[in-house]
Amino acid sequence: MKNPDELRRSGIAIAPGVAIGPAFIIEQSGLPVPEYTLPAAQVEKELTRFHGAITKVQKHLSQLRQKAEGLTTGAEDMTLLLDAYKGMLSGSRLVRGVEEIISGQHLNAEAAIQKQTAALRASFAAMDDAYLAARGEDVAEVGNRLIRSLLQQNYNPFADAPEGCVILAEEITPADAALLNPDGITGLATVLGGPEGHTAIMARALGIAAISGVAALCHGIKTGDTVIIDGRKGEIIIHPEAATLQAYKQELARKRQEEKKLKALRDVPAVTLDGAPISLQANIELLRDVEPALESGATAIGLLRTEFMFMNRPDLPDEEEQYTALRDFVTNLDGRVLTIRTLDVGGEKIASALGEDGNESVNPALGLRAIRLGLKQPKLLDTQLTAILRASMHGPVRILLPMISSVGQVKQVRARLLTLERRLHRRGIKLKGLPPLGAMIEIPSAALVADALAKQCDFFSIGSNDLTQYTLAIDRGDERVADLYDPFHPAVLRLIQFTAAAGWRANIPVSLCGEIAGDRRATALLLGLGLREFSMSPVRLPAVKQEVTQIALPDAVAFAEKIMAQTDENEIRTLLAGGPDRGKGR
């Protein structure tokens, strides 16, 4: 039957697949608000916390406003509303009132906001005017946004999401994404967020169909309404008619069949047609990812992103907690190598427990993040390295340093490791040697000094996600420039080629663990550039293995040469879509 209410809205495709289910809208309101009295000495700090939340909400509202400007209908109403919200965040009765409550009554910021918004709403309501009553609602909305921003670290937005639902939200941060339960959630759609941000990466890894950049996403929908996410086209279909629903159900069934076929490749060795063994490894984040990684046929873990151990909590994990967690990864891997990347927070991945240093700067992606943060806060790095060293006693471990930009940084970490080894020795813990130490090559400067870095490193891992971001100066998490983000840009490919060649010259292994490692269209090219190790989301691994088994290295090299001769990125895309000629290996 035709459903006249069927609505389609488009955005950016961030994780392929199809999801059909009831919508679950993440609201700004309804959070439990803690209330406590502050010691007098804490008041200044609480005011700073409150002002930090104001800055974040202002930034968020500006992003929403830019999105709203592109709407074909309702753009003016929406931008006016968002401007009104922003107006309430500077010099307003709301802000002044909250400051007075924090300073005068020594109440925490969340409770002070709740108190002041309730008082303002009551005074608007008392005026018995529909227009002013609506302003009261606006104040409450702004208050909720501030409270949510302050509570970020303790709040699971998906706690009440029903089984099989599709999440709709303004934004899902990487910290939120770490709480996504793939068994319960089938799809997600957001207003903000780019295709290469960590939320997108996690959605792909979890097999959740996802889209972003959908303006006015939640208009005309309520929680419980049926929606379809088309993660390939980047579309959400609201209140689908019967024929649409039927077509998508068939597509889901087809996809499941295909996955089943690829799963059969699990125990097939990853060897090219001419007999070269290729190492296919998995990227993981949480302990729950180990099983799917092994199921996919991964022979090692090429990237454990440890930052998720530091998120969604008000404090930092101590050495013992980190050691226990890492030891569990090692033992669950049964002798397979675990590559542990040290903390990579900053940029879009925020760990609030790190205080000021863990939070935003004007250019977060260029700021105090990853290894820079670790070297500035030696206790943070030492604690993690010590935990890693202790975990390495239970099985093979490699240490991987994120965001390395120069040789000196690797030397500093190596010196720290030697000191920490001696300290452990004094505690009666005797290591059998230090684990291999490697650098992420994800900043152009690192790629360009790869020969020198190779002398200090035992291995490299190319982070093509950040390498693309920094080479092209494109924020990987910003949906407005997503069309310019291109890991196959000739400049990025040259840096990858140069790094692979430096690895060969120094005889150290070079892996690639960015998202293109899991893109089967790129497999022949990357092999042709000299790479033999890839680490990717487990869901992508079987398809890449299929690709490896269908190519001979001479064909891969010829393909890479053809691509590297191009200067136009569109030409490269066309060649990649066409695939390599396959002749020499047969």
Binding of residue 442 to ligand PEP (CB under 6 A): yes
Which of 466, 478, 486, 519 lies at the binding interface for ligand PEP (CB under 6 A)?
Answer: 466
State the pairing for strand pair 165-169/18-25: parallel
Stretch that binds ligand PEP, among 27-35, 103-111, 237-245, 458-466 (CB under 6 A): 458-466
Q: How far is the CB of 470 from Mg ion (least distance, A)?
A: 9
CA atoms within 13 A on the CB side of 414: 14
Could you tell me which residues are beta bridge partners of residue 209? Answer: 187
Residues in region 411-450 near Mg ion by CB under 5 A: 442
- In angstroms, the Cα distances linking 350 to 85, 308, 356, 365, 490 are 25, 10, 10, 11, 31
Q: Which residue is nearest to Mg ion (CB)?
A: 466
Stretch that binds ligand PEP, among 22-30, 56-64, 249-257, 457-465 (CB under 6 A): 457-465
Contacts by 412-420 with C-beta closer than 8 Å and gap 24+?
412/375, 413/371, 413/374, 413/375, 413/381, 413/385, 413/437, 414/456, 416/378, 416/381, 416/382, 416/385, 417/385, 417/389, 420/382, 420/385, 420/386, 420/389
Stretch that binds ligand PEP, among 26-34, 101-109, 463-471, 488-496 (CB under 6 A): 463-471
Residues in region 192-221 near ligand PEP by CB under 6 A: 201
Which of 23, 280, 420, 513 lies at the binding interface for ligand PEP (CB under 6 A)?
Answer: 513
Size of the residue set binding Mg ion (CB under 5 A): 3
d(CA 461, CA 379): 25
Nearer to Mg ion, 341 or 540 (CB): 341
Size of the residue set binding ligand PEP (CB under 6 A): 11
- In angstroms, the Cα distances linking 569 to 345, 481, 563, 573 are 31, 16, 9, 6
Stretch that binds ligand PEP, among 68-76, 243-251, 252-260, 460-468 (CB under 6 A): 460-468
Binding of residue 516 to ligand PEP (CB under 6 A): no
Contacts by 153-162 with C-beta closer than 8 Å and gap 24+?
153/311, 153/312, 153/313, 153/314, 153/352, 153/353, 154/312, 154/313, 154/314, 155/31, 156/312, 157/26, 158/24, 158/26, 158/184, 158/185, 160/24, 161/24, 161/185, 162/22, 162/24
Q: How far is the CB of 37 from Mg ion (least distance, A)?
A: 42
Binding mask 443-472 for Mg ion (x = CB under 5 A): --------------------x--x------
Q: How far is the CB of 565 from ligand PEP (least distance, A)?
A: 25
Binding of residue 514 to ligand PEP (CB under 6 A): yes
Q: Which residue is nearest to ligand PEP (CB)?
A: 463
Tell me which residue of 535, 172, 168, 471 sits closest to 349, measured CA to CA. Answer: 172
Nearer to ligand PEP, 281 or 465 (CB): 465
d(CA 481, CA 489): 15
Nearer to ligand PEP, 466 or 486 (CB): 466
Alpha helices in 12-108 (DSSP H): 43-69, 75-87, 93-100
* Residues identified as active-site: 198, 513
Q: How far is the CB of 337 from ligand PEP (least distance, A)?
A: 17
- In angstroms, the Cα distances linking 410 to 106, 389, 402, 454, 457 are 46, 17, 10, 10, 7
Stretch that binds ligand PEP, among 12-20, 351-359, 409-417, 462-470 (CB under 6 A): 462-470
Nearer to ligand PEP, 223 or 361 (CB): 361
Q: How far is the CB of 171 from ligand PEP (least distance, A)?
A: 18
Binding mask 292-321 for ligand PEP (x = CB under 6 A): -----------x-x----------------
Binding mask 318-357 for ligand PEP (x = CB under 6 A): --------------------------x-------------
| C-beta of residue 493 within 8 angstroms of C-beta of residue 444 | no
Which of 186, 339, 456, 464 lies at the binding interface for ligand PEP (CB under 6 A)?
Answer: 464
Give Dmax (Cα) for the chain: 84
Stretch that binds ligand PEP, among 100-108, 130-138, 381-389, 464-472 (CB under 6 A): 464-472
| C-beta of residue 314 within 8 angstroms of C-beta of residue 154 | yes
Nearer to Mg ion, 323 or 470 (CB): 470
| Helix, strand and coil percent figures for the chain, each rounded to 5 | 50, 15, 35
| C-beta of residue 231 within 8 angstroms of C-beta of residue 209 | yes
Q: How far is the CB of 71 from ligand PEP (least distance, A)?
A: 31
Binding site for Mg ion (CB under 5 A): 442, 463, 466
Binding site for ligand PEP (CB under 6 A): 201, 303, 305, 344, 442, 463-466, 513-514
